[in-house]
Amino acid sequence: MFTDRANEQGAMIAKIIQGKGSPALVAKVQANFAQWLRDHWNEDEGLALAHCVRVLAEACGGVRGEWGTLSGRQQSAVVWFFSLMCLPSPDSGENDAAAFYRQALASGGLANIARTADLLRGQA
């Protein structure tokens, strides 16, 4: 289960993916991400992303699970999407990663999430 803030962030990202995102909505998603970095990671994006990699890899089965089937580029895209959507704190990361993975499985798996992230980032 995600926090209210993550649920709100996810709903805004869904609108953007559906092509219903205004520049103001995109700015709000970006502002939420920046606030997350300030609130939980002392603005250290590298530390935040390292935490996200750790909890995601574990939740997704590590090198022997679905995580291990992804290329490095796909893993990077999934980590980016997870951090942007879930805004996990140091305390909630494991639970958020498990919930994210369950949601990923329901929507076609991690490779599909990586493609969605690439589309959102304009890298597809």
Residue type, 6: A
Q: Which of 14, 34, 19, 27 is closest to 87 using CA atoms?
A: 34
pLDDT of residue 1: 65
Token representation of residue 102: 């369950």
pLDDT of residue 6: 83
- For residues 120, 5, 91, 45, the Cα torsion angle rounded to the nearest 10 degrees is 40
pLDDT at site 4? 82
Low-confidence ranges of the chain (pLDDT < 50): none
pLDDT of residue 123: 79
pLDDT score of 84: 95
pTM equals: 0.91
